[in-house]
Each structure stands twice: as structure tokens, then as C-alpha cells.
Amino acid sequence: MKIASWNVNSLRVRVEHVSDWLETNKPDLLCLQELKMVDADFPEDVFKQLGYHSAYTGQKTYNGVAILSNKPLTNVVTDLPNFEDPMRRYIAGDYPLDSGETLRIVNVYVPNGQALDSDKFVYKRAWFAKLQNAMQDTLSQNPNTVLVGDFNITPSDLDVHDPKKWAGSIHCSDIERLMLQKLMASGLYDTYRNFNKDGEQFSWWDYRGAGYRANEGLRIDLVLSSSAMLDRATASSIDESPRKLERPSDHTPAIAEFDC
């Protein structure tokens, strides 16, 4: 099966890109972030015509996450457990595997944080701490777990186009990388890095300046697999092709494939 994560930076603007990508790549699960729309505007019918069920939680202007699936999800949760938050950044559900087992899929849009001395960074840390707690529970209850999303953290300098320029900055700071390592220490593995030990590929490029043209990117969109799912992983990649389209999202899909 194929699982992908894509921050679309407005689903209203990108709905054709997403539809085309679904038709070409036929993922079993496509997790979206930054819908930037209320639930009433979600283009459920567009995806239904392509054979996809939709689970989503949106809001006006900002944030918003969705899971498109070729089989309906059950036990959908749209709030990060034990965290009061109007920002729509978390959605999870159970996906039925062919074997009869269940996969718990969790899709997150981690707060950006803006700068290490910002109030928004306080929020990022608090949000992430709750995610870590939630994932410990999720993993203890579901051996087959995959956590995907826009983490707004580069796991290491390999994931940064210019580590010197970004050193200590938001998305690349030691404190954020320790947060991510602590989360992963509960039993989650960077699936892309498992298959690409020293590959330097990015999933986001700034719209500004040379941006994509100069490959000035970061790898911040991740597919994290539980141990049981990593054992069944067969490939992981980043598909740059949507970033080359006209009026693209600044992110492009991160993908993992599993033998189940």
C-alpha cells in the first residue's frame, strides 16, 4: 500500500493538482495539510468521483487537515488529545488492511513556531509535547501506526540545503530536533531516511527568491512508521513533480510504500 503526505497551501487553489496526483499515483491514503477552508467548502464530491473517501477538519483561512482514503476510515479523531486548541492540526483514523489488521493513520500539521523567541514557539513546544503523549498511547494500542505530516522540523542537517545559513534557526534548531527525536524514541522511524541513507532531497522550497530553481529547500514533511510498519516498508520517496507545476504549493508529497 502507498501512503503520502502533502501540504497543499490552500486546497481551494490546489484541488486540480491533488486530483491529478491521485489519478496518477493512486495512493491508498493521501494526507493533506493547510486546507485553509471551512468544512462546508471541502470538495468531497471531487474526491468521491475519483474513488476516495474524505475525513477532514478545517477552519477559515488557516490550518486544516484531511485524510483521503480508498477505503472508509473508522474511529476518526479530529482533536489532538488533551489539548484545547481551535487550530485544526490533527486528524487520525483506522484504515482496514487487506490482512484483516488495522492501520492507525495520524496526520498532523505541526505549528511553524516562527522564531525560537516567539510566543508561537511556546505554542509549538506545547503542541508537540501533547503529540508525543498522544503517540505513546496510539503506539501502545496500535502496533501498525503511521504518523505523517508537515512537522516543520528538519530531522538533521542532511535535510537542509544550506545548514550553515539555517544553523539554529526555526525548523533547524537543536531544541526542535530533540523534540522530534524524543517523539521518535517512542517507536517511530523516518521512513524516507531508512531507504535513502544519505540522500539530500527536500519537500519544501520557499516561494521567494531563487527558491525551487536553486533547490534551496528543507525536508520537513515526513512519514514516520512504527516498528511493525517499518518492517513492512518497501520504499519511500519525495515526488518533486507537483512543485514544477504552475501555481504550485510550496510543499510536495512525501511518500512511503508498504507490503500490506
Active site residues: 109, 150
Provide the mask over 171-190, with x wherever binding to DNA is found by CB under 7 A and - wherever it is not: x-------------------
Smallest distance, DNA to C-beta of residue 115, A = 7
Beta strands in the chain (DSSP E): 2-7, 29-33, 53-57, 65-69, 74-77, 90-96, 102-109, 145-150, 188-190, 204-205, 217-218, 221-226, 233-238, 254-258
CA distance 75 to 95: 9
Work out which of 226, 243, 251, 252 binds DNA, going by CB under 7 A: 251
Rule CB under 7 A: say whether 60 interacts with DNA: yes
Site residues for DNA, window 61-120 (CB under 7 A)?
61-62, 111-112, 114, 120
Rule CB under 7 A: say whether 209 interacts with DNA: yes
Are the CB atoms for 218 and 154 separated by under 8 Å? yes
Q: What are phi and psi of 41, to 5 degrees?
A: -95, -5
What does DSSP assign to residue 84?
A: -
- Nearer to DNA by C-beta: 48 or 60? 60
- Nearer to DNA by C-beta: 104 or 251? 251
Helices (H), the chain: 11-25, 44-49, 119-141, 163-166, 174-184, 191-195, 227-232
Smallest distance, DNA to C-beta of residue 177, A = 14
Neighbouring-strand partners of residue 4: 30, 255
What does DSSP assign to residue 39?
A: G
CA distance 208 to 221: 19
Window contacting DNA (CB under 7 A); options: 21-29, 95-103, 129-137, 206-214: 206-214
CA-wise closest residue to 106 among 10, 2, 252, 224: 224
- Nearer to DNA by C-beta: 39 or 94? 39
Work out which of 13, 122, 126, 214 binds DNA, going by CB under 7 A: 13
Site residues for DNA, window 145-164 (CB under 7 A)?
150, 152
- Nearer to DNA by C-beta: 10 or 133? 10
Smallest distance, DNA to C-beta of residue 192, A = 16
CA distance 35 to 89: 10
Are the CB atoms for 131 and 183 separated by under 8 Å? yes
Q: How many residues bind DNA (CB under 7 A)?
A: 29
Rule CB under 7 A: say whether 166 interacts with DNA: no
Provide the mask over 34-53, with x wherever binding to DNA is found by CB under 7 A and - wherever it is not: x-xx----------------
Window contacting DNA (CB under 7 A); options: 48-56, 94-102, 231-239, 243-251: 243-251
- The residue with cell 484531511 is 66
Q: Where on the chain is the footprint of DNA (CB under 7 A)?
A: 7, 9-10, 12-13, 34, 36-37, 60-62, 111-112, 114, 120, 150, 152, 170-171, 204, 206-209, 218, 220, 247, 250-251
